Amino acid sequence: MASILSKKQKKKENYTLKELKSLGSDLLSSRAHINNLPLLLSFISPESPPQFVVESLLSLQSFFTPLLPQLPSSSSSSPASSTKRPRSDEEDDDDSAKTETDEVDGDPEVIFRAWLRSKFDEFVKVLLDVLVSQQSEDALRDIVLGTLMEFVKLLNAGRFHSSIYHRILNAIIHSAVDVDMFLDILNSKYFKYIDVRYFTYISMEKFVKTLEASAVSGALISSSLPDKTVMENSETENELKDSLELSIRKIYQVLSRTPPPHKQAEKSDLEMWSGSDESSSKKPKGKKKKSKDQDSNLLSPTTIAKRMKLKFTKAWISFLRLPLPLDVYKEVLASIHQTVIPHLSNPAMLCDFLTKSYDIGGVVSVMALSSLFILMTEHGLEYPNFYEKLYALLVPSVFVAKHRARFLQLLDACLRSSLLPAYLAASFAKKLSRLSLSVPPSGSLVITALIYNLLRRHPTINHLVHQEPVDNASEANSEAEEDNESSRPKTNKKLGMDYFNNQETDLKKTGAMRSSLWEIDTLRHHYCPPVSRFVSSLETDLTIRAKTTEMKIEDFSSGSYATIFGDEIRRRVKQVPLAFYKAVPTSLFEDSDFPGWTFTIPQEEGKC
C-alpha cells in the first residue's frame, strides 16, 4: 500500500485531525509508510494548532520509542560509525569515533538507521522550539516536556541521557518565557529523582562557565575598542548586558528551586528517573579508560547521593563568581545561610564572596553578616577587624531596614562573649545609646534591650550608667586596656562634656570608657510611653547575675509603630487619669479672659 503522501499531495493546512491520526496509524503499522514521518514532523511547530501538535507528537513518540536502542549515536556521524551498542553521553557529543567504513558503506539498514537518527534529532529540535515558544499553551508545554524527559530516560539504553537534558535546560534558560512555569513542572514531577537533580547541577555549572567566559570576552573587546567605536556600540553593549543579567536571573531561579542534597538520604530520596541502577552493574567490555563524565552515567543511586554535594557546591560557587545584579545579590545573601551553606561540601569556600559582600557596606553588609557569622562560629573562619566593620554598620537607617530583625539578633550574638575587652563593649554600648536619640521608638526599645544585655554580660562597663565627667580628655583613650576601678574619675569636673567620639572608627580611641550613658537618662522623658517605661529596667543592679536574666532581642527586633500601637491598645490600665474640677464650669471661658464679654448662659425662671 502506497503512502498517503504519494497518493495525494496536500498542503499542510488542508489536513484534518482525523487524517493526521490516520497518517500516524499507517506509520506505526508498516515501514512502507515511512514517508509519513517527515509530514508528521512538519505539524510540530509553534504555529500549528495545539491539537495537531499533540496528535503528531503522540504518533512520532510511539514510533521512535521502540527504535531508540537501535539508533546510531548521532545523525552527524557517518553510517558506518554507528553500532548496535548504545553509547554513553560523552560519545554522543564526540563524533570522532573511528571505524572501518568501507565494509558497511553500502548497507541499506545502516543508512536507514542513520536517516532515522537525523529525523529523531529534528524531532527533538522542533519539540524544544514548541516548548519555549511564547505561542504555546501551558498544557502543551507540559506534554512536550514529558515527551522530552521520556527520551532522556530511554535513549541511552536505560541510562540518563544528559545531552538531551542539557539541551532542555539550555532552551529554558535562553527562552523569553517565564522560567517559573517550567520549574513548576520540573519541581512537581522530576526533581524528586536524584539523577535529575544531579545532572541539573552539572548543567548549571556548564551554563555559568559559559556566561563567565562571555562576560570576560565582552569586557576585553570593549576595552580594546577606540573611544568613537565604543560610543557607537554602546547600545549593543547594553543589550548584551541585559541578556547576561536575564540569564543570571534564570540560572538563579533554577538553582534556588532545585532541592538541595539531603544529609541523610532515605530510600525514597534515592529514586532514579532513568533506572540506571540495573544497567550500572553491567561493566562495558574493553580496556579504554573512562572519563569522569562517562563514568557518572554508570553510577548507582548511592554513589550519586555521595557526589551530589560536590556537584551542588561546584554549581553554587561558580554562580557566585558571576557579576550578579543587585536584586539577585540581595536575594542570595538573604537566604544563603539556610539554603546553601548547610549543604556545601566545604562552606569555607564562601569566605571570599562573603567577606567582599561584608566590605561593601550598607544593607549588603547587613545581609552578609548572617552567613559570615556562621562561617566564623561553626567553620573556624578568621576575619580581621570584624568588630570594627560591625561597629561601622550601626547607623540610624539599619533600624528601619527590611532585614533589621536578623541583623539585631546577630549583633547581640556577636557581643555575647564575656572575653570581649571592656573598651569594645563600652564603645558598642555608647554608640547604641547615641543612636537611641535619632531612631524610631521601636529602635529605642531594642537598643535599650541590647544595652541591658551588654551591662549584664560585662560588669566592667557598669560604671557607664552613672559616671561623673573628668577634666583630662587625653586619658580617655588609654582606658581601653585599663581596669574598671582605674577608670573612676578623680580629677576636676567639667559639666556638659562627653569624651566619647562618635565619628571615631578605631574602637580603642572612641573614649567610651570615660563617658556615660546620659542618652538613656534622656529616654526617661521620651514621648512614647513604652520607651520611657522600659528604660527603668536599667535601674536594677545588673552586676548580680543570679537575680537578672538576659532579654530576648527577638522580642524587640521586629518592632514598629504598628506593633507598639497594638501593644498599647491591648494593655490593661488599672488607673485611668480623669479631669477634676473644684466646681462644675458654667462657661467655656472665664470672664477675666475677655474683659467686657460674658459667656454665662442665662437661666430661665422655673427651669434648672
- Mean pLDDT to the nearest integer, 180-202: 92
Report the chain's C-alpha Rg in angstroms. Answer: 37
pLDDT attached to residue 90: 44
pLDDT tens track for 426-448: 999 999 999 999 999 999 999 99
pLDDT tens track for 129-171: 999 999 889 999 999 999 999 999 888 777 888 899 999 999 9
Per-residue cell: 598: 460674658
- DSSP per-residue letters across 443-495: HHHHHHHHHHHHHHH-GGGGGGGS----S-GGGTGGGGGS-SGGGS--S---T
Task: Give the C-alpha separation, 214 to 210, whole Å.
Answer: 6
- Mean pLDDT to the nearest integer, 444-464: 91
Phi, psi of 159 (to 5 degrees): -95, 155
Per-residue cell: 120: 529523531
Quick one: three-class SS letters along 355-387?
Answer: HHHHHHCHHHHHHHHHHHHHHHHHCCCCCCCHH
Task: Give the C-alpha separation, 17 to 216, whole Å.
Answer: 51
Task: Give the C-alpha separation, 603 to 608, whole Å.
Answer: 7
Instruction: Give SS3 for 203.
Output: helix
Task: Give the C-alpha separation, 190 to 273, whole Å.
Answer: 8
- Are residues 166 and 148 in contact, defined by beta-carbon separation less than 8 angstroms? no
**Which of 1-10, 388-397, 596-605 is modeled with the greatest confidence?**
388-397
Task: Give the C-alpha separation, 323 to 465, whole Å.
Answer: 48
Residue 476 has pLDDT above 60, yes or no: no
pTM, two decimal places: 0.74
- Are residues 206 and 167 in contact, defined by beta-carbon separation less than 8 angstroms? no
Task: Give the C-alpha separation, 146 to 53, whole Å.
Answer: 14
Residues in Cβ contact with 312 at an 8 Å cutoff, skipping those fewer than 6 apart: 201, 260, 261, 343, 344, 345
Residue 278 has pLDDT above 70, yes or no: no
Task: Give the C-alpha separation, 403 to 336, whole Å.
Answer: 14
pLDDT tens track for 83-132: 333 444 444 444 444 444 444 456 788 888 899 999 999 999 999 999 99
- Are residues 207 and 169 in contact, defined by beta-carbon separation less than 8 angstroms? yes
Task: Give the C-alpha separation, 27 to 63, whole Å.
Answer: 7
Per-residue cell: 587: 462657661
Residue 172 has pLDDT above 90, yes or no: yes
pLDDT tier at 608, thresholds 50, 70, 90? very low
Residue 3 has pLDDT above 80, yes or no: no
The average confidence (pLDDT) of the chain is 80
Phi, psi of 451 (to 5 degrees): -65, -35
Residues in Cβ contact with 526 at an 8 Å cutoff, skipping those fewer than 6 apart: 441, 444, 532, 535
Side chain identity at residue 549, one-letter code? T
pLDDT tens track for 564-588: 898 888 888 777 666 667 777 777 7
Task: Give the C-alpha separation, 573 to 576, whole Å.
Answer: 7
Task: Give the C-alpha separation, 358 to 352, whole Å.
Answer: 10
pLDDT attached to residue 86: 40
**Environment class of residue 217 by beta-carbon count within 10 Å: exposed (0-12), middle (13-18) or buried (19+)?**
exposed
